[in-house]
Protein backbone atom coordinates (compact mmCIF):
# COMPACT_ATOMS: atom_id res chain seq x y z
CA UNK A 1 0.00 0.00 0.00
CA UNK A 2 1.13 3.53 -0.81
CA UNK A 3 0.20 6.77 0.92
CA UNK A 4 0.27 9.80 -1.34
CA UNK A 5 -0.02 13.14 0.47
CA UNK A 6 -0.48 16.45 -1.29
CA UNK A 7 0.10 19.68 0.57
CA UNK A 8 -1.93 22.78 -0.11
CA UNK A 9 -2.98 26.06 1.38
CA UNK A 10 -6.57 26.73 2.41
CA UNK A 11 -8.65 29.44 0.84
CA UNK A 12 -10.03 30.35 -2.55
CA UNK A 13 -7.15 32.76 -3.15
CA UNK A 14 -4.82 29.76 -3.54
CA UNK A 15 -7.02 27.75 -5.92
CA UNK A 16 -5.17 27.15 -9.17
CA UNK A 17 -1.90 28.57 -7.84
CA UNK A 18 1.46 26.97 -7.12
CA UNK A 19 0.50 27.04 -3.44
CA UNK A 20 -2.06 24.30 -4.05
CA UNK A 21 -0.16 22.04 -6.41
CA UNK A 22 -0.21 19.21 -3.87
CA UNK A 23 -3.99 19.34 -3.41
CA UNK A 24 -4.40 19.64 -7.18
CA UNK A 25 -2.30 16.50 -7.71
CA UNK A 26 -4.43 14.60 -5.23
CA UNK A 27 -7.59 15.86 -6.96
CA UNK A 28 -6.25 14.81 -10.37
CA UNK A 29 -5.33 11.31 -9.15
CA UNK A 30 -8.73 11.02 -7.46
CA UNK A 31 -10.52 12.02 -10.68
CA UNK A 32 -8.46 9.74 -12.91
CA UNK A 33 -8.86 6.69 -10.68
CA UNK A 34 -12.35 7.36 -9.33
CA UNK A 35 -11.26 7.75 -5.70
CA UNK A 36 -13.37 9.91 -3.37
CA UNK A 37 -11.14 12.01 -1.11
CA UNK A 38 -13.88 13.01 1.30
CA UNK A 39 -13.33 10.98 4.46
CA UNK A 40 -12.16 12.98 7.46
CA UNK A 41 -9.56 10.88 9.24
CA UNK A 42 -6.13 11.34 10.80
CA UNK A 43 -6.64 15.12 10.83
CA UNK A 44 -7.03 15.29 7.08
CA UNK A 45 -9.16 14.27 4.15
CA UNK A 46 -8.41 10.83 2.78
CA UNK A 47 -9.58 8.53 0.06
CA UNK A 48 -8.75 4.86 -0.46
CA UNK A 49 -8.53 3.20 -3.82
CA UNK A 50 -6.42 1.39 -6.36
CA UNK A 51 -3.99 2.92 -8.86
CA UNK A 52 -2.57 0.58 -11.47
CA UNK A 53 -3.12 -2.47 -9.29
CA UNK A 54 -1.67 -0.93 -6.11
CA UNK A 55 -3.73 -0.01 -3.06
CA UNK A 56 -3.34 3.68 -2.22
CA UNK A 57 -4.49 6.22 0.30
CA UNK A 58 -4.70 9.78 -1.02
CA UNK A 59 -4.31 12.43 1.69
CA UNK A 60 -4.97 16.16 2.01
CA UNK A 61 -3.59 16.91 5.48
CA UNK A 62 -5.30 19.31 7.86
CA UNK A 63 -2.38 19.52 10.27
CA UNK A 64 0.72 21.30 9.06
CA UNK A 65 3.96 21.96 10.93
CA UNK A 66 5.47 25.24 9.74
CA UNK A 67 9.26 25.20 9.95
CA UNK A 68 10.51 28.71 10.55
CA UNK A 69 9.53 32.30 10.03
CA UNK A 70 9.45 32.16 6.22
CA UNK A 71 6.95 29.29 6.20
CA UNK A 72 4.88 30.92 8.94
CA UNK A 73 4.68 34.32 7.25
CA UNK A 74 4.05 32.91 3.75
CA UNK A 75 1.28 30.58 4.88
CA UNK A 76 -0.45 32.55 7.64
CA UNK A 77 0.57 36.16 7.08
CA UNK A 78 3.30 38.69 7.69
CA UNK A 79 1.78 39.75 11.00
CA UNK A 80 2.94 36.48 12.58
CA UNK A 81 6.29 36.20 14.33
CA UNK A 82 7.99 32.84 14.81
CA UNK A 83 9.21 33.86 18.26
CA UNK A 84 5.69 34.72 19.46
CA UNK A 85 3.86 31.93 17.58
CA UNK A 86 6.27 29.04 18.06
CA UNK A 87 4.76 26.10 19.95
CA UNK A 88 1.17 27.40 19.80
CA UNK A 89 -1.60 25.94 17.69
CA UNK A 90 -3.07 28.31 15.12
CA UNK A 91 -6.31 27.30 13.39
CA UNK A 92 -7.38 28.85 10.11
CA UNK A 93 -10.19 27.60 7.88
CA UNK A 94 -10.23 24.16 9.47
CA UNK A 95 -6.51 23.53 9.20
CA UNK A 96 -4.32 23.35 12.31
CA UNK A 97 -0.83 24.84 12.10
CA UNK A 98 2.06 24.35 14.52
CA UNK A 99 4.85 26.86 13.95
CA UNK A 100 8.29 25.86 15.20
CA UNK A 101 11.93 26.58 14.53
CA UNK A 102 13.48 25.95 11.13
CA UNK A 103 16.18 23.23 11.27
CA UNK A 104 18.83 25.84 10.35
CA UNK A 105 17.95 27.73 13.54
CA UNK A 106 18.69 24.56 15.52
CA UNK A 107 22.18 24.47 14.05
CA UNK A 108 22.81 28.08 15.08
CA UNK A 109 21.36 27.78 18.59
CA UNK A 110 21.52 24.44 20.43
CA UNK A 111 18.97 25.63 23.01
CA UNK A 112 16.27 25.75 20.35
CA UNK A 113 16.51 21.98 19.90
CA UNK A 114 14.73 21.46 23.23
CA UNK A 115 11.89 23.81 22.20
CA UNK A 116 11.69 22.15 18.78
CA UNK A 117 11.28 18.69 20.32
CA UNK A 118 8.66 20.01 22.75
CA UNK A 119 6.73 21.42 19.80
CA UNK A 120 6.84 18.09 17.97
CA UNK A 121 5.65 16.31 21.12
CA UNK A 122 2.67 18.67 21.21
CA UNK A 123 1.82 17.61 17.65
CA UNK A 124 2.12 13.90 18.54
CA UNK A 125 -0.06 14.43 21.63
CA UNK A 126 -2.63 16.23 19.48
CA UNK A 127 -2.96 13.14 17.33
CA UNK A 128 -2.96 10.75 20.27
CA UNK A 129 -5.65 12.68 22.19
CA UNK A 130 -7.80 12.66 19.08
CA UNK A 131 -7.80 8.87 18.93
CA UNK A 132 -5.77 8.80 15.72
CA UNK A 133 -3.80 5.79 17.00
CA UNK A 134 -7.01 3.80 17.28
CA UNK A 135 -8.18 4.49 13.74
CA UNK A 136 -7.49 1.77 11.22
**What region, left, alpha or beta, does residue 87 occupy, with left being phi > 0 and alpha being psi -120 to 50 degrees?**
left
- Kindly report the CA angle at 44 between 40 and 47, in degrees rounded to 5? 65
Active site residues: 19
**Residue 52 neighbours by CB under 8 Å, 6+ apart:** none
Query: Could you write out the DSSP letters of every residue in 75-91?
Result: HH-TT--HHHHTTS-EE
Amino acid sequence: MYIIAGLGNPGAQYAGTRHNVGFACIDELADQYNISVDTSKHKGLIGKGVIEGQKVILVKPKVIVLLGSTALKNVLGKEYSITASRGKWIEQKGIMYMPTWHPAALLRDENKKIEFWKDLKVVVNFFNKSGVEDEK
